[in-house]
Amino acid sequence: MDASRIAVCMLAVAAVLAPGESAGGAGWEKKHSEKGITVWARDVDGSPNVETKVVSKISATTDEVWAFLDDTKNLKKVAPAIVELRDLGSCGERCRYVYQRIHRPPIKDRHWVLEVRWSVNETDGLRTYRRWTKVTKKKSPPVTGPVLVERMSGSWLLKPVEGGSSTRMTRISHLEIGGNVPAALFNGGAVKNAFRFMGRLRDAF
């Protein structure tokens, strides 16, 4: 077999072993797809609750979407369960401590402190933004009363598409809310909330 045919075979094998975003990726199961928004879910080791991934195209540049989400008032609009959000200071270069409290009746309010890190990579004048969050015990919540959540993590990826005029956003989230909330009920809600979050964000542009 000549070198060109070997290369073609290797590419074909790679395509089978590494499914693209349209397939969700390793372990992801498509749960909902509508109006250009797709939500996947997958199991997390040691947790009764699934991790969700929602992907969609937004009619705005990555700079515009990032600036919108970086505004506390805007973030509350697209994630209305967040009723309190405070910046608690720096944790290093491109790192902040952030306090959040969520309100989702009939369950009692939950809260946490996140360690938020981000990166910005520029190519040909177009910027790709990434953000990672996880619950931290390095800072204590500034208030008492709500139930403290000890396991929560997530990420955002804002990637330029269509020559930079639009953004492909991928949001991943996992949360253990605690209490007596049945996993089946929580997981169904997590998929719906991921879809609604992305829908509100797209509508903002």
- 43 vs 25, more confident: 43
* Residue 14, pLDDT above cutoff 90: no
Task: Answer whether residue 21 shows pLDDT above 70.
Answer: no
* 181: pLDDT strictly greater than 50: yes
Mean pLDDT of 105-125: 96
**pLDDT at residue number 172:** 98
What is the CATH code of the structural domain delimited by 22-203?
3.30.530.20
Domain parsing of the chain, residue ranges: 22-203
For the stretch 136-163, pLDDT in tens is 999 999 999 999 998 999 999 999 999 9
pLDDT at site 23: 52
pLDDT at residue 24, as a whole number: 61
Q: What is the pLDDT of residues 52-81, one digit of tens each?
A: 999 999 999 999 999 999 999 999 999 999
Is the peptide bond between 19 and the residue preceding it cis, with omega within 30 degrees of 0? no
pLDDT over 80 at 164, yes or no = yes
151: nearest Cα among 173, 130, 167, 127: 173
**How is residue 50 annotated by DSSP?**
P
pLDDT score, position 11: 34
Mean pLDDT on 128-139: 97
Residue 63 C-alpha from the chain's centroid: 17
Residue 123 has pLDDT above 80, yes or no: yes
Overall residue count recorded for the chain in this entry: 205
Residue 177 confidence class, pLDDT cut points 50, 70, 90 = confident
More confident residue, 196 or 12: 196
- Kindly report the number of other CB atoms within 10 A of residue 162's CB atom: 10
Residue ranges in the chain assigned as alpha helix (H): 3-17, 62-69, 72-78, 183-203
In this prediction, residue 2 carries a pLDDT of: 45
pTM: 0.85
Q: Taking Cα atoms as reference points, which of 113, 116, 114 lies closest to residue 95?
A: 116
pLDDT for 103 beyond 70: yes
**Percent above pLDDT 70 for the chain:** 88
